Amino acid sequence: MEILSLLGSGMLVALQPLNLLLILIGVTVGLFIGAMPGLGSVNGVAILLPITFLVPPSGAIIFLAAIYYGAMYGGAISSITLGIPGASTAVATTFDGRPLARQGRASLALVTAALASFVGGTVANVIFTAFAPVLASVALSFGPPEIFALMLLAFATFVGLGGDDIPKTILSICLGLVLGAVGFDQISGAPRLVLFDITGFLQGIGFLVLAIGVYGIGEMLWTIEQSRDEAESTPPKMTARGMVADAAEATRRGWRGTAIGSCIGFFVGILPAAGATPASLMSYGVAKMMSRNPQDYGRGTPDGVAAPEAANNSASTGSMLPMLTLGIPGSPTTAILLGGMVIWGLTPGPRLFIEESEFVWGLIGSFYISNIAALIINLAFIPVFIWMLRMPFTILAPMIFVLSVAGGYAATRDMFDIWLILIFGIAAFVLRRLDYPLAPAVLAIVLGPIAEPTLRQSLLLSQGDPSIFFTRPVAGPITVIALILIFLPLVKLLQRGRKADKTT
């Protein structure tokens, strides 16, 4: 009852006129920041941080958290309508969101994303409110072996993302791991895989650069190729009745992915150095593995949109937990929020809940208000996003190209990345023509830089003994499950080969 009383007082703080106005402005601004390729919540919060010094600290953190929430919602918009991930957290949304849009069902994809985001955020808020101190200690107990085991479990889901052609899937994963290893070694500091001694490779290959190239330029080229002999289908006009029907279908066909994403997203989000991107990718893979119709994934299923969208919103709230309770940021965006809190004279940590109770519970109360505001604003703008799709592709294609190039440049301000975007776009188009799955490569470049240093740190701790991944109480079960999932498709492939031999 004490928690409910504190939460009620916190929501009253969030509903104060100034704070409520900041929430509405922050969510709306965040929605469009998230939808713009190359910006995302990190850049949005960093750019708008100086503005917050005009308001009290409680209003400032509420405003920045609202931008964070809005950006998590907004990332799905360009992923669905244009096939360009608004942010790295929305890459998995393109896997099924873009196919639904090409089928003339963009409204279903957008409504599914909005509802799943709302449920994911709500579930995370409830867990956050009830179990913050306990979960913070759990997150702190995750060392390098546990994080590597978790990454291995994520890799295990990749095999299912490439269909039945396991060799092509493994090759795609290896390609992503190689691209993720370009640049300076995180432990020794030595440069590696620097092609032709080009200095641009020393900074590594950014995930957003790869994602925009593959799902922006590559998707544009693929659509041009596919539409040469096909009539372009015009999306239907959005009506209130149609939105209600889409909401009902999204609930019926996307509840499983929403549930999986909400749970996985929060618990991955609370882990330091993980964040919303691995959470959304893992949720998509697990949702596909647990689906009764996994063959529908990648072709346009609401479940494939719901899982990553619920996960990235759930993870965004989860990443706030270690920041507030331990002073450890759970994502790049919360690292900026942490810096802002220090500037405002607040010290994150266990005593923050005691010494600054009004501030903390006002922030937690704003999570609930921001979540509701983001859902309403997102649904209200869906007709505008549908209108974008009614434009002929002869207009959309140049827009996609300009947004891809501008988004890639805005993220790093480096022309070398623009050339990489174009190269990755062409390469993605060629690989797609050859029927190679692109999703595993994109996912591998995200988790590779997390998995590699934790693997090496774990082996340093155990003096080279790999049994550390099996003997630790948390890492052991996760590693065993991951290995089972990795070898299960191979067993099925061998069984299928035996059956084929018997029939011949």
Query: What is the full DSSP assignment across 320-370?
Result: HHHHHHHS--SSHHHHHHHHHHHHTT---STTHHHHTHHHHHHHHHHHHHH
pLDDT value of residue 305: 92
* 88 closest CA partner among 159, 163, 15, 37: 37
Tokens coding 376: 């309403």
Please count the other Cβ atoms lying within 10 Å of the Cβ belonging to residue 327. Answer: 15
Quote the pLDDT of residue 119: 93
pLDDT at 112: 92
**Dihedral pair phi/psi, residue 375, rounded to 5°:** -65, -50
Which pLDDT score, from 0 to 100, does residue 231 have? Answer: 45
Going from the first residue of the chain to its last (504 residues), give the mean pLDDT of each consecutive group of 10, the final group possibly shorter: 79 87 90 75 73 78 85 84 77 88 86 92 88 67 83 73 67 87 83 84 80 80 68 54 81 90 87 74 86 84 92 87 73 74 74 76 87 88 77 74 78 83 90 82 79 89 90 88 79 72 67
pLDDT at res. 35: 80
E-only strand ranges, 231-318: none
The confidence score (pLDDT) of residue 120 equals: 92
- Its pTM stands at 0.79
Q: Based on the structure, what is the number of domains in the chain? A: 1
Residue 426 has what pLDDT? 92
Range of the domain at 302: 2-503
Helix (H, G, I), strand (E, B) or coil at 442: helix
